[in-house]
């Protein structure tokens, strides 16, 4: 019985409840993705790894006695994530570290993720707390992985942008970056965990982690990494913000940002090229500037109905 109407009398059945905010944004937001990663000219292997995933919840009506259109045949809603990791140290240990970080994170998501795709303030806090726990577990996994004769322990950066509907979160350790391009303006969402940034910040300088003996300047001396070990572990930056229609998000490694200036990033992200083409153009620009380091660019363009 629905809404007092007998489904057998020919009139449409009405639900007991009506929802003014339905369908939720998790069903209507569409995202285009692009990704490109290339080995640096002076690197033996590409120590960058990346992952783009779509997480979904669905309902499918298999059989029912209800009248047509009372329940949908199928209902789907989605969340999305982009993650990049830049392994540090020599080629073998760097590649091992970034690969281990991403595979461990993915296993945690599969085993312990709640697949929250409808986000309110309470759920947002749960998502942020859960992500911090995941990052801590990844740090422990990388820290305790045997190095098999490598001089340095396994260490990597890891930066992720993830969310659903209007909500986007980022989680960050290291000097990979996340950017937001909106209405012609490029905004850097993350700050680098480097000695250079710490010197500019009105905060005490954290103990340094010597992860790159070939660092050219203070921008390449990291203060926090996945795998740094210690009693406390790395600082993990986690934030939440709201997306607008046609926002573009870039997640990338420092092999890109060391070689390509911010105004050029903005020009490419503001172009009419597809995210796939934009990611390739950005990495090719980094390679054209010398391309000493591995460079990875992940681009997402969000389409949010009004």
Tens of pLDDT along the chain (306 residues) come to 444 445 555 555 555 555 567 788 899 999 999 999 999 998 899 999 999 999 999 999 999 999 888 888 999 999 999 999 999 988 788 999 999 999 999 999 999 988 889 999 999 999 999 999 999 999 999 998 866 655 568 999 999 999 999 999 999 999 999 999 999 999 999 999 988 654 454 433 333 334 444 445 556 688 899 998 778 889 999 999 999 999 999 999 999 999 999 999 999 999 999 999 999 999 999 999 998 999 999 999 999 998
Residue 227 in any domain: the answer is yes
**Would residue 66 count as lying in a domain?**
no
Domain assignment of residue 14, yes or no? no
Phi, psi of 241 (to 5 degrees): -150, 170
Q: Considering Cα of 162, then 106, then 135, then 146, what sign does the dihedral take?
A: negative
Give CA–CA dist 171/222, Å, rounded: 17
At 243, which CATH number? 3.60.40.10
Q: Reduced to 3 states, what is the DSSP secondary structure of residue 249?
A: strand
Total domains in the fold of the chain: 1
End-to-end CA distance of the chain: 35
In a domain? residue 8: no
Residue 15 lies in a domain: no
Domain presence at residue 3: no
> Would you call 280 helix, strand, or coil by DSSP?
helix
19 located within any domain: no
Greatest C-alpha distance within the chain: 80
CB contact at 8 A, 162 and 80 = yes
Distance CA 66, CA 53 (A): 35
Whether 133 maps to a domain, the answer reads yes
The pTM assigned to this predicted structure is 0.86
Which residues share a beta bridge with 35? 298
d(CA 95, CA 87): 5
* Cis check: omega of the bond before 268, within 30 degrees of 0: no
Q: How far is CA 21 from CA 26, 75, 83, 305, in A?
A: 12, 16, 31, 13
Q: From its phi and psi, is residue 276 left (phi > 0), alpha (psi between -120 and 50) or beta?
A: alpha
3-state DSSP helix/strand/coil percent for the chain, to nearest 5?
30, 30, 45
Beta 295-303 vs 30-38: how paired, if at all? antiparallel
How far apart, in whole angstroms, are the C-alpha atoms of residue 121 and residue 168? 13
- Provide the residue range defining the domain that includes 41: 25-59+71-303
């Amino acid at each position: 019985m629905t809404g007092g109407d007998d489904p057998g009398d020919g009139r449409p059945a009405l639900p007991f409840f009506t929802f003014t905010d339905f369908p939720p944004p998790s069903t209507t937001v569409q995202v285009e993705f692009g990704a490109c990663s290339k080995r640096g000219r002076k690197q033996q292997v590409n120590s960058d790894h990346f992952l783009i995933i779509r997480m979904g919840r669905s309902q499918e009506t298999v059989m029912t006695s209800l009248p047509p259109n009372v329940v949908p045949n199928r209902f789907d809603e989605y969340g999305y994530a982009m993650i990049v990791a830049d392994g540090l140290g020599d080629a073998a240990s760097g590649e091992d570290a970034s690969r281990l970080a991403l595979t461990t994170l993915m296993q945690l998501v599969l085993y312990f993720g709640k697949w929250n795709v409808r986000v309110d303030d309470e759920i947002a806090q749960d998502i942020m707390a859960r992500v911090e726990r995941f990052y801590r577990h990844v740090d422990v996994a990388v820290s305790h992985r045997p190095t098999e004769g490598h001089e340095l322990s396994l260490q990597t950066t890891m930066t992720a942008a993830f969310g659903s509907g209007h909500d986007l979160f980022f989680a960050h350790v290291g000097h990979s970056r996340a950017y937001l391009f909106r209405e012609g303006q490029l905004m850097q969402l993350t700050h680098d965990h480097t000695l250079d940034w710490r010197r500019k910040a009105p905060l005490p300088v954290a103990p340094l982690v010597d992860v790159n003996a070939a660092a050219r300047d203070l921008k390449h001396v990291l203060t926090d990494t996945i795998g740094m070990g210690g009693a406390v572990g790395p600082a993990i930056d986690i934030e939440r913000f709201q997306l607008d229609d046609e926002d573009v998000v870039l997640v990338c490694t420092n092999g890109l940002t060391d070689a390509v200036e911010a105004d050029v990033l903005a020009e490419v992200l503001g172009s009419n090229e597809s995210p796939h083409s934009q990611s390739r153009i950005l990495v090719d620009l980094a390679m054209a500037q010398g391309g000493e380091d591995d460079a990875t660019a992940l681009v997402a363009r969000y389409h949010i109905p009004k």
